Amino acid sequence: MQTRITYTEEELVRLLRERNEAVFSYVYDHYSGALLGTISRIVQEEESAADVLQEAFVKIWHNFSSYDPTKGRLFTWMVNVARNLAIDYTRSKNYKSDLQNQSLSDSVGKINRQRNSTPNTDLIGLKSFLDKLSPQHKQIIDLLYFDGYTQEELSKELQIPLGTIKTRARAAIKQLRELVK
């Protein structure tokens, strides 16, 4: 019988700061599915989403020294790294060029994959927490973290002042932290 190794968040942070490759492999094994779900909501094409995931883990490894545990949990930081890379990817010239130059069969295949592969955030238990938020907070989190809007874009889309978007996002994240505890 194989013993399952688990780490506290503090242990993970300490070992990642020490550049422990075995722990990094553990982090990849335990968090890649959730990060891919976040990326896939923004980057619809499966192969490109996998590339962004790979890039996210490379960035996490190389930039781990910038993680500050006093500003948030490790998972939240990793999700933000992945989400930001996914947004950057969709804004890149290559991505926009690829969208314009797709063949008809590629477009049909992409549409079918999108219909059949909607990420299920409930697999990591997130949906139950999001459902407990007020409707305005849930909407902000859905659009910011799962649909890839920036706060400025969301402000324009919902015709709400940027300060209100920021306040609601902070309040929603604070409420989620309390729910997760």
- Tell me the pLDDT of the chain averaged across its residues: 81
**124 lies in the same domain as 89:** no
Out of 14-23, 40-49, 60-69, least confident range: 40-49
Confirm if 30 and 47 have CB atoms less than 8 A apart. Answer: no
Say whether both 65 and 9 belong to one domain.
yes
Domain count, the chain: 2
| Residue owning tokens 């902000």 | 140
In tens, the pLDDT along 55-64 reads: 999 999 999 9
Contact 175, 137 (CB under 8 A): yes
Claim to verify: residue 53 and residue 88 sit in the same structural domain = yes
Residues 85 and 166 in one domain: no
* Residues 175, 113 share a domain: no
Same domain, 56 and 126: no
Could you tell me if 80 and 15 lie in one domain? Answer: yes
pLDDT on residue 117: 47
Q: Are residues 103 and 32 in the same domain?
A: yes
CA distance 36 to 16: 21
Phi, psi for residue 85 in degrees, rounded to 5: -65, -40
Is this prediction's pTM over 0.85?
A: no
Question: What percentage of the chain reaches a pLDDT higher than 70?
Answer: 77
pLDDT at residue number 158: 83
Please give the residue range of the domain that contains residue 178: 120-181
Q: Are residues 71 and 103 in the same domain?
A: yes
Q: Report the CATH number that the domain containing residue 138 is assigned in CATH.
A: 1.10.10.10
Task: State pLDDT tens for residues 92-118.
Answer: 866 555 655 555 555 555 555 554 444
Q: Considering 103, 119, 135, which residue would you say is the last residue of a domain?
A: 119
